[in-house]
Amino acid sequence: MLILSASMGAGHDGAAAELAVRLQSAGYRVRTADFLECFPWRLGRLMRWVYTVQLKAAPWAYEATFRVWYLTPLLGRALEVVLTVLTGRRLRQLLRSEPGLACVVSTYPLSSLVLGRGRRRGWVGAPVATFVTDFGVHPLWMHPAVDLTMCVHRSSAEVAARATARSVVTTGPMVSAAFRRAPITKLAARQALGLPQEAKIALAVSGSWGVGDLESTFDALLHTDDWLPVAVCGRNDDLRARLASRGGGVVLGWTDRMPELMAAADVLVQNAGGLSCMEAFAVGLPVVTFHPIPGHGRENASAMETAGVTATARDPRRLAEVLDRAVTVDRHALVAAGRALFVGDPAGEVVSLATPSAPADQPAARRHRRPRRRRIAACGLGLAVAYGGLNLAADAATAHGVDTAHAERGTADVYVAVRVGPAALASPDLAPVLAADGVTAVVDGRTAAADPAGVRRLVRAAVDVATGGWQAPQRFHWESASDGLLRSTRALRLAAGRNCREYAPISGVSGVDLASALMGHVRIVRGSRLVALGGPVRLRPLRVYILRGDRADAGTLERALNELVMGADRAGLVVEPLSDLR
């Protein structure tokens, strides 16, 4: 047996290691390999580094790259080709080094794509199985030529079945026997770990890399007064040091005592839906999701809550309430649903699939070396796909409220802004109108640099001012992305004498925009509707409306705003500036 994993956190490797143990116990010779090592020029290490940086420093980028495959499925086929060109030679060598290979199992989505392509084209002769480690089934997990797909929950299996014509089964999670055997008592575990016997303990985890907003989670638990946070920071020593400086709770680094910690805790607070969640389900520990990380973290959180195996705290103010319910009213249901996941054995499914050798009618593998120029071309294609996909996904992600300012639910507020051009900004009549109506002025950097006095008039009149980029959007999306959000932010700061915290683009948002907003500490505001001056508008609560007044004078803007504000009054809505968004 050959198991392909990837050192992208403990989830993929943990599932591979446990599967190897079970298959070895069944009498099979098993080899586990890291798919990332099949990349040339240490590209696998680069991928791991980029993934780490995305999660720690630029979560918007990971969210964007995660979502792009949903929006453009054809990119998945392009990625499949690129990955095969890059990894195919070494993967073929790996397969040939295992004579009489009975089965190949993938616990990592990218290796599933390459194995599926190899199975379809004939150079992978043994049956191929994929074990999906996540609750959420990302499109990159699925390949129609993979013989068997194993999922942790029936809802996950239903999603997978719609994406592949091959066999899909629900096996439940794969966790170590240390979590599946009868745990020690809570009293004994707390004595062994030196934890207080009477405390309400929340075990807070963030994966083996310590990614996500564990600091906010730890602080929120400390502020509840009732809960003692025990944070496991994995291999993130900087995070461990920062949490230890709080002077409260218990802070741990990498540990192999997770079975004892889970036995000692009252609840698990997690942010990724990964291996720690599956281990808690096996132990019978209630799980609460708080501040999920982008991408698979948010997707897993949604899928697990829908399946009834976790509860979700969406607001720090309600965290204590959700935790209390999870260990009292909802405890039995959460624990029962978590333990009910373990309906089968992935190792048994693999054994049933395995064959002693490649089928006789399977085409022989085509053995040839790919010229280096083809691999270089594949890298170029991969970069082009990544760039285009990132921009597309960034636009879609922000349109759905990812890493953007958004309205607070439960109010009758409507948020209104108007893009102000040179003619209107030069008029002294503009500022009183905007101040009276409570409307934000969106000024691009070029206009602010040309008329700083006009910007100062707005600020002195207490008008909310936001940046609209460096200039009016150009014909192509990449042009507006490269116009310089940071440059426009600096221009407004110099003109206004203070920072403008909101950025209201009139066109789509690219990956460059998101990165610039992060570096400039600016919030992106996406308009629910872009409104032409004088056009009919049906206002709805919690929406953002941006009037396109770049070429209008102050009188035209005043008339358009009067109509909009009167319409809001008739609808029982309250007009608010963009700075009031959360």
Q: DSSP readout, 33-46?
A: EEGGGGSGGGHHHH
Assess if CATH 3.50.50.60 describes domain 413-580.
Answer: no
3-state DSSP percent of the chain in helix, strand and coil, to 5? 50, 15, 35
Whether 357 shows a pLDDT value over 60: the answer reads no
Angle (CA) 548-550-554 rounded to 5° is 100
Cβ atoms 134, 35 nearer than 8 A: no
* pLDDT (mean) for 470-493: 62
pLDDT value for 310: 96
Q: Which fold would CATH assign to domain 181-339?
A: Rossmann fold (3.40.50)
Cβ atoms 485, 467 nearer than 8 A: yes
Least confident of 8-17, 205-214, 354-363, 467-476: 354-363
* pLDDT (mean) for 52-61: 79
- Residues 423-462 pLDDT 10s: 999 999 999 999 988 999 999 888 999 999 999 999 999 9
The residue type of 176 is S
Region for 284 from its dihedrals, namely left if φ exceeds 0, alpha if ψ lies in -120 to 50, beta otherwise: left
Delimiting residues of CATH 3.40.50.2000 domain(s) in the chain = 181-339
Structure tokens at 149: 């797909």
pLDDT value for 30: 95
Other CB atoms within 10 A of residue 360 CB: 5
**pLDDT confidence tier of residue 50, bands split at 50, 70 and 90:** confident
304 vs 550 pLDDT, higher one: 304
Alpha helix segments (H runs only) across 340-413: 346-353, 372-399
* pLDDT (mean) for 373-397: 54
385 vs 550 pLDDT, higher one: 550
Angle (CA) 441-445-447 rounded to 5° is 75
In Å, what is the CA distance from 26 to each residue of 346, 355, 554?
A: 12, 15, 80
Least confident of 36-50, 146-160, 476-490: 476-490
Question: Does the pTM exceed 0.75?
Answer: no
First CA to last CA across the chain, in angstroms? 52
pLDDT value for 211: 86
Token pair 């948010």 is at which residue?
Answer: 298
- Residues 202-236 pLDDT 10s: 999 998 888 888 999 999 999 988 999 999 999 89
Whether 253 shows a pLDDT value over 90: the answer reads yes
Distance of alpha carbon 313 from alpha carbon 292, whole angstroms:
10
Region for 42 from its dihedrals, namely left if φ exceeds 0, alpha if ψ lies in -120 to 50, beta otherwise: left
- Residues 258-307 pLDDT 10s: 999 999 999 999 999 899 999 999 999 999 999 999 889 999 999 999 99
pLDDT value for 409: 59
Task: Give the residue from 200, 183, 171, 177 showing the smallest Cα distance to 288.
Answer: 200
Whether 411 shows a pLDDT value over 60: the answer reads yes
Cβ atoms 239, 214 nearer than 8 A: yes
pLDDT value for 160: 92
Percent of the chain's residues with pLDDT above 70:
84
**pLDDT confidence tier of residue 483, bands split at 50, 70 and 90:** very low
529 vs 370 pLDDT, higher one: 529
The residue type of 199 is A
Whether 152 shows a pLDDT value over 80: the answer reads yes
Contacts of 481 (CB under 8 A, 6+ apart): 391, 510, 511, 512, 513
Cβ atoms 148, 166 nearer than 8 A: yes
pLDDT value for 507: 62
What does pLDDT average to over the chain? 84
Instruction: Report residue 568: phi and psi, to 5°.
Output: -65, -40
Looking only at the bridges linking them, the beta strands covering 529-532 and 544-548 are parallel
Whether 364 shows a pLDDT value over 60: the answer reads no
* pLDDT (mean) for 554-581: 87
**pLDDT confidence tier of residue 383, bands split at 50, 70 and 90:** low
Task: Give the residue from 389, 414, 419 showing the smallest Cα distance to 507.
Answer: 419
* pLDDT (mean) for 348-372: 60
pLDDT value for 522: 78
Task: Give the residue from 139, 167, 171 showing the smallest Cα distance to 154.
Answer: 171
Cβ atoms 503, 469 nearer than 8 A: yes
Percent of the chain's residues with pLDDT above 90:
52
Instruction: Report residue 531: phi and psi, to 5°.
Output: -110, 130
Whether 361 shows a pLDDT value over 50: the answer reads no
Cβ-count burial 196-229 (b if 16+ within 10 Å, e if not): eeeebbbbbbbbbbbbbbbbebbbbbbebeebbb
pLDDT value for 172: 94
pLDDT value for 516: 63
* pLDDT (mean) for 185-204: 94
Q: 78: burial class by Cβ within 10 Å (0-12, 13-18, 19+)?
A: middle
CA within 13 Å, CB half, 357: 6
Distance of alpha carbon 89 from alpha carbon 91, whole angstroms:
5
**pLDDT confidence tier of residue 375, bands split at 50, 70 and 90:** low
Whether 524 shows a pLDDT value over 70: the answer reads yes
**How far does CA 531 lie from the centroid of its chain?**
31
Contacts of 263 (CB under 8 A, 6+ apart): 183, 184, 185, 186, 188, 189, 283
- Residues 93-116 pLDDT 10s: 999 999 889 999 999 999 999 999
Delimiting residues of CATH 3.20.20.370 domain(s) in the chain = 413-580
